[in-house]
Structure 1
Amino acid sequence: MNAHVPFPEPSDEDLENAVAELEQYVAGRAPAAPPAPAPTPPADTRRVRELRAEVAEAHALLDLQADAAPLLVDTDRVRRSRKRAAEAARLHALAQDPAARAWQAARVRLVLTVVALTALVGALAWSTTGVHHTLTLGMVERTAAWWGAWAVEPVISAVLLVVVGARAFLAARGRVLRHRHLTVVEYGALGVTLTLNVWPYLPWQVERFDPMQLLAHAVGPLIAVGAVAVLPIIWTAFAELDHGLPTGLAAAPYPALTPASYSGNAAATAPAGDGLTGRLAARARDLIAAGELPADPSANRLRTALGCGMDTAREVRDALRGGAS
């Protein structure tokens, strides 16, 4: 017969311990759980992106504005101003050069001469119509005499232009052309031209005197008189200008001088008395005796007439006045 061995009933404490050990055993044998995923940050909105870009741009601008290099760079306007200022300075310096001053004076003299001669020719052309009208009063038109009347004023004007041109040219060479016969011819031609222009409009020639008609036909001869009077004066003044050219003789003024009698600066090397100054003074006295120079010529006139430098011309002037040995 089988005998049953009695086992004691487990207590509650034993059951709890067994369950705990079981859970610990299962937990140790179970696979590791995967880590929890990290939370996803919220996406940037459009305003956030724009503000972030604006802040970054501001920081970059502050860094760049702290650099003064752009302020040191010349702008196009500054460069143009610098260029104009440099050009003005060079032109001013060039204007002080004796050769440039002489060239400028020659150009101005040419312009004034052309203007004056243009006015003279225009005035004489206007005068031609007035002279033709006076000469052909009561004359049959298109006859030989009528056509010939057109040539009267041009012939008178040609003689007048010869005198004016000779005076002006010689004045530019330092010699004023004065002669009683030339003065008579000059103003006689102008007087004849003026008379032929205004004769039909004089008070005793017309029933109703019109001063404006008289003035209109006197304009041509009056302008011609003005041009004839001012041209020699202007040319003489230009000829007496001192441009500050270097002293010294460019060529022997007359055959008695040879190249061995002077070098680069005649005023500094020429001896007084019987030397270069003495020979030039003798030549000046001959020109004074011939009427080509005034009794007391200026240094400019002597420089032009003798072809010497200004310093030498001053020595010759002093020698003529008895101020040099």
Structure 2
Amino acid sequence: MTTTNATPTPEEPTPSDVERGLADIDAFLTEQAPAGRVPAERGQTKRVRRLRGEVSEAHALLELQGDEAPLRVDSPRVRKRRKAMRQAAVLHRLAQDPDARAFQAARVRRVVVGAGMVALMLALAWSTAGVQAFAAEGAPVWSPGWVFAWFVEPFLSLALLTVVGAKAYLAVRGQPIVSPTLDRIEWLFLGLTFGMNAWRHLPGIAETFSLSALVLHVLGPIVAVAIVRALPPILAAFTNLHHDDAGASSETTSGTSSRPFVPGVPPTGSDLHGKNPAATLSRAVRKRSRQEVTATVAEPVKPTMQAHRDQLRALVTTGEIDPATASVNAVAKRLGCRWDRARALLAEITTNSHREGER
């Protein structure tokens, strides 16, 4: 038995369906059709359109040029310079601090002492060869006399360095040694070193006199003498430095001397040694009168850093001094202060003016 599947027969479209389909096709074709070309206005040529674009661009540029915002933006070079100026101002203010000045003075003093001691050691080592030749007196090489001659200069140098080191250290601590005995000891050691170096090269002693050989052999002792005599005063000057703004001692600051006045005692007849008593007594009275005047009259107090700063600000406010064009010499003369203080004050007020201008 076979089964047959019947295929359904489509229904025929009605006239309304045909009309609707034709309407849809017409709408679709209308949408897909290209837009019609809009007719150009008369006179709108390519040259006119280009000129109209240039005019519009010019109006836009004029409107934007009136805005100063781009001019206020700092370039990388300006920012780099501003940063360098700020750092320089901070370093300058730090350099004016008393602690910074004390640190700088201590560092310079350490360098000076180190350089001086190195020069002294080299000078004494330079003279060691000359002293050895003087002490050996032609002894054979590596003989006991030749070997021991090398130790003459070192123990003289150690003794000299002991005296120099003690005087230098006490000068740094504010207690310089004033002792003729130590001075004579220094000159004795230096004289021995100088004599033993120069003896074999002096005229009449040397077989053939040579000025260059004599100068080279006495160069070491001469440098040693210079260092020994110069180092203690230099260290004493470093110790007496004042790192504050006042920069004055206690006597100058207070205006009077801290030592009490001790009236003079008239000399007796035994102290005059045959001199005129009246003349000696009158000189003692005049000296005592001068001492009384010096003790009672106060010395003028030097203006402080703050006083000079206020005076400079007043001059700048009144327009008598222009920080941008004023020289350090003119400011120092007007304030009556030192050049370093005038330079510091001028840099400070210039930096403050720049900051106020930026704000």
TM-score by length of 2: 0.54
Instruction: Evaluate the alpha carbon distance shift between residue 82 and residue 40 of structure 1 in structure 2; reply closer, same or farther with a 3 A threshold.
Output: closer
- What do the CA deviations read for 1:132-185 (whole angstroms, capped 9, x no partner)? 122224110011221111111111111111111111111112222121221111
CA contact (8 A) 1:171 1:236 kept: yes
CA contact (8 A) 1:163 1:186 kept: yes
The equivalent residue for 2:265 is none
The equivalent residue for 2:258 is 316
Corresponding letter in the other structure for 2:241: L
Distance 2:189 2:40 in 1: 118
Corresponding letter in the other structure for 1:161: L
Instruction: Evaluate the alpha carbon distance shift between residue 64 and residue 176 of structure 1 in structure 2; reply closer, same or farther with a 3 A threshold.
Output: same
Same amino acid, percent of matched pairs: 45
Distance 2:83 2:38 in 1: 70
Corresponding letter in the other structure for 1:103: F
**Mean alpha-carbon deviation: is it higher for 115-124 or for 91-100?**
91-100
Instruction: Evaluate the alpha carbon distance shift between residue 208 and residue 73 of structure 1 in structure 2; reply closer, same or farther with a 3 A threshold.
Output: same
Corresponding letter in the other structure for 1:115: A
- Pairwise mapping of residues 111-130 of structure 1 onto structure 2 (< 5 A)? 111-130=111-130
The equivalent residue for 1:185 is 185
Distance 2:205 2:240 in 1: 48
The equivalent residue for 1:141 is 141
The equivalent residue for 1:15 is none
Corresponding letter in the other structure for 1:153: E
- What do the CA deviations read for 1:228-285 (whole angstroms, capped 9, x no partner)? 01111111111222222899xxxxxxxxxxxxxxxxxxxxxxxxxxxxxxxxxxxxxx
**Cα offset, 1:50, TM superposition:** 10
Corresponding letter in the other structure for 1:132: Q
Corresponding letter in the other structure for 2:180: R
Instruction: Evaluate the alpha carbon distance shift between residue 318 and residue 114 of structure 1 in structure 2; reply closer, same or farther with a 3 A threshold.
Output: farther
Question: Which ranges in structure 2 are unaligned for 5 or more consecutive residues?
Answer: 1-35, 263-290, 297-359
**Cα offset, 1:38, TM superposition:** 7.0
CA contact (8 A) 1:168 1:232 kept: yes
Corresponding letter in the other structure for 2:110: L
**Cα offset, 1:91, TM superposition:** 2.2
Distance 2:246 2:193 in 1: 47
Instruction: Evaluate the alpha carbon distance shift between residue 121 and residue 59 of structure 1 in structure 2; reply closer, same or farther with a 3 A threshold.
Output: farther
Could you say what the CA RMSD is over the residues aligned between the two structures, in angstroms?
3.6
**Cα offset, 1:110, TM superposition:** 1.3
Question: Which ranges in structure 1 are unaligned for 5 or more consecutive residues?
Answer: 1-35, 248-298, 304-308
- What do the CA deviations read for 1:271-321 (whole angstroms, capped 9, x no partner)? xxxxxxxxxxxxxxxxxxxxxxxxxxxx85xx7xxxxx9857965246687
**Cα offset, 1:51, TM superposition:** 9.9
**Cα offset, 1:53, TM superposition:** 9.0
Distance 1:210 1:53 in 2: 98
- Pairwise mapping of residues 12-51 of structure 1 onto structure 2 (< 5 A)? none
Instruction: Evaluate the alpha carbon distance shift between residue 233 and residue 37 of structure 1 in structure 2; reply closer, same or farther with a 3 A threshold.
Output: closer
**Which secondary structure state, in structure 2, belongs to the residue aligned with residue 67 of structure 1?**
coil
CA contact (8 A) 2:135 2:152 kept: no
Look at both structures and tell me which one has the larger radius of gyration over its CA atoms. 1
Instruction: Evaluate the alpha carbon distance shift between residue 38 and residue 53 of structure 1 in structure 2; reply closer, same or farther with a 3 A threshold.
Output: closer
The equivalent residue for 1:214 is 214
Instruction: Evaluate the alpha carbon distance shift between residue 40 and residue 174 of structure 1 in structure 2; reply closer, same or farther with a 3 A threshold.
Output: closer
Instruction: Evaluate the alpha carbon distance shift between residue 167 and residue 59 of structure 1 in structure 2; reply closer, same or farther with a 3 A threshold.
Output: same
Distance 2:64 2:158 in 1: 81
**Cα offset, 1:40, TM superposition:** 9.6
The equivalent residue for 2:176 is 176
State yes or no: 1:165 paired with 2:165. yes
**Which secondary structure state, in structure 1, belongs to the residue aligned with residue 139 of structure 2?**
coil
Corresponding letter in the other structure for 1:316: S
Instruction: Evaluate the alpha carbon distance shift between residue 243 and residue 37 of structure 1 in structure 2; reply closer, same or farther with a 3 A threshold.
Output: closer
Corresponding letter in the other structure for 2:93: A
Distance 2:147 2:255 in 1: 56
**Cα offset, 1:66, TM superposition:** 4.2
Distance 1:68 1:113 in 2: 60
The equivalent residue for 1:93 is 93
Distance 1:92 1:317 in 2: 39
Distance 2:214 2:180 in 1: 30
CA contact (8 A) 1:99 1:245 kept: no
- Pairwise mapping of residues 238-317 of structure 1 onto structure 2 (< 5 A)? 238-244=238-244, 300=249, 316-317=258-259
CA contact (8 A) 1:94 1:100 kept: yes
Corresponding letter in the other structure for 1:203: P
**Cα offset, 1:226, TM superposition:** 0.5
**Which secondary structure state, in structure 2, belongs to the residue aligned with residue 142 of structure 1?**
coil
Instruction: Evaluate the alpha carbon distance shift between residue 88 and residue 212 of structure 1 in structure 2; reply closer, same or farther with a 3 A threshold.
Output: same
CA contact (8 A) 1:134 1:197 kept: yes
**Which secondary structure state, in structure 1, belongs to the residue aligned with residue 151 of structure 2?**
helix
